[in-house]
Structure 1
Amino acid sequence: MHDIKAIRENPAEYDALWAKRGLEPQTKKILDQDALIRKATQVMQEAEAARNKSSKLIGQAMAKGDKEEAERLKTEVAGAKNVIAAMGQQVESEKAQLDMLLASLPNVPFEDVPDGESEDDNVEVAKWGEPKEFSFEPQSHDDLGTALGLMNFETAAKMSGSRFVVLSGALSRMDRALASLMLDMQTEEGFEETTPPFLVWNRALFGTGQLPKFEEDLYKTDGDHYLIPTAEVSLTNTVRESILDADALPKRLTAHTPCFRSEAGSAGRDTKGMIRQHQFNKVELVSICKPEESEDEHKNMLRCAEAVLQKLELPYRVVELCTGDLGFGARKTYDIEVWLPSQNTYREISSISNCGDFQARRMQARYKFAEKDNRFVHTLNGSGLAVGRTLVAILENYQNEDGTITVPKALVPYMGGLETIG
């Protein structure tokens, strides 16, 4: 959500920042709608003042025995009440329209975010590790997993359709081991392990920005709940409608949850294998902090996510998203992309985003700044990491010519001492 006061004071700045995201100027229609609210509010306040003044004069007229004047004043009071009621309804209606307009607009990027129109304009900022040189043609993760008999897409399709998988045996254990490793590492970094709901109401999804814009990508129950597309929704909403103690910030949370996405906008992309599925597991990181802390908190979360890939010795790179590729609620985002030998390229495994106060305004999440001064927190979120994609990266980077998979050293203790799969 956007601060209407800030838009009133800096309309040109907002239009310039939205233009970087490919939007036409927005502030004229916003301020026109705001003017309707202010005008209706003014008329209502004038009617309230007139009602109050006439109400006082009624008593004085009655005391003087001037019934005619008293009746006239009562008529004025009744008329003013009608105006107040009508203007009150108009204010609420105009505010609802303004809120709908503001809710439909994406966050504005920070000034230092690189300009660009698409992912082709993202900027590489770091690279770690060297891709392994294979003496044979590396296979894709799905071919490897299927050949091992531990990754079954056909069985999953019989019960759920496409973009689902059944893992079994050592791969199922690796999936669990990865989540445990990630949680251990993130809790050591100060993130509090949390088990949040997987079903939420629409207001929770509105708070983090998935609704109303991205409803087609969500799974809704027959009741009033939605399945979470990411634990960001549940974790961030733990502070909704709250006034937090400043000394308790930053508040860092982590959770291992399933995520559910219809992938409505990705027709034809990554339909083979585990890269893009309707259900997947992820270890999420969320931070709630004061505005002056959010830049450093962003870098810290990026470091924590990178540390998992370094621990697993998986080559990766970090890119900063350009203005045209930013997510709806983000002001700045770093993507971590892991190397996949079968595709001979880096693929996204985590996005770490600073949302500023955008989500906090939608959730009404504040912290106590001073006496009678509560301010909006900043919220940040990211994957630490996507478990399925990490498993994919291990299968491909640790494959052997005979089709077996070497277990990364960091995972061996979590795998009961198992060093090779297959």
Structure 2
Amino acid sequence: MKKTLVSALTTALVVGAASTTFAAANPFSDVPADHWAYDAVSQLAADGVIEGYGDTTFRGNQNITRYEMAQMIAKAMAKTDVSAADKALIDKLAAEFSDELNNLGVRVSNLERNADMVKWNGMARYTYTSKRTENAAGVKKRVNDDELKLRLEPSAEVNANWHVKARIDANTDLAKDSADTDKDHLHGGSQDTNLKLIRAWADGQYGTTNIKLGKFGDQIDNDLIADTEFSGAAVTFGNKFKTTIEAGRWNLNSSAVSEFKDSKFIGSDAASNLQAIAFGYGVGKFNASASYRHLNSNVFTGAAKYVDNAKDASDDVNIWAVGAGYRFDKNIALDGKYAQNTEADNYDKAWTTQLSYKGAQKANKGTWGLYAAYRHLGQFAAVKPTYDGVSAGQKGWEFGTNYTIFPNVVAQAKYFTGKDLTNDKDASKLFGRVEFFF
């Protein structure tokens, strides 16, 4: 049953204020000084038991709910300077409104628990790159970049099965000490220089089944084909034999194929539809994978016309990939992957093979690793690979090392020497990075 707020004051008076001399100023415009509840309203407002409305009114004749009454009782229960008689009345009211008080307590405790379950991870890193390329006329060019990146990765628990996660990046071009949004991240420059929400998704785990909804990293062959974010959904299930299905939209503006867009396509919709499925198997020292990815965008049509002068170029891209790896012991591993775009006439194949020895563990000071790899990255198959040495559209050898200087401080160096696929001219790259994890 609802009561008016003025009637409810007979309850609120038990905070002890009614039995003392009132001296607090009345903050409410609709409670005149000659009102019977003037003193009580003034003192209760001063004590924080009642708050009124944002327009400075009290609205004492307005009906209130049992939940609103429970809020007032909860504030009264927090008072310590009350008489024994008032305490007995508070306890009686608390018993009457026990359900509402319990609900109020659950809501508060859940909010406090969820606040404790918000965790922040991240890293700060400095990256130096020096690229050497040669055009068809034999003119050599060198481009050096200095980049500073700050990355924040919050994760908040929703319930036992679901978390909300995100990635926030900020980049700065240290050579200019200013914002620079024109560089292509694919070739070592800043992808963006302002604090930007890169990823945000809901992540659900039910046994061996994982569900992702939102904008998140590609879940399939993300090192060779597409190390990027897309917006959509992905489901992975299985234990030793895993299956991943994903679908959504992927912006191609920072991909390798964007460099080959015909001028008539520049400024058109660069978002591509994406559907993909992958299978993975891992047992003991051996692992294997197979995947299929379908993309659709007029960016591919423009790129194909630019490269092949094809009049009937298709918007569709179908990329098949297989991979396998074997770990000989705890230190030595050999991995290889192959991908082909069946819709492309040129630059339609990508493959990599890598031999690794040990590896830096960011939590363990003094740990280190080495690797040697050969990569051939046709840009219509390796649309946006993750490798820091060889870029899409290049082939050659890549060598690297990493070392944990201090706990959570890792340094790495890489060197690439090879050719550009478009003109078969020499290309090389020197890459250095220091990362601070927190």
Q: TM-score range by the shorter chain?
A: under 0.3
TM-score by length of 2: 0.26
**Higher relative contact order (Cα pairs below 8 Å, separated by 6+ residues):** 1
Q: Which has the higher helix share?
A: 1
Choose between structure 1 and 2: higher strand proportion: 2
TM-score by length of 1: 0.26
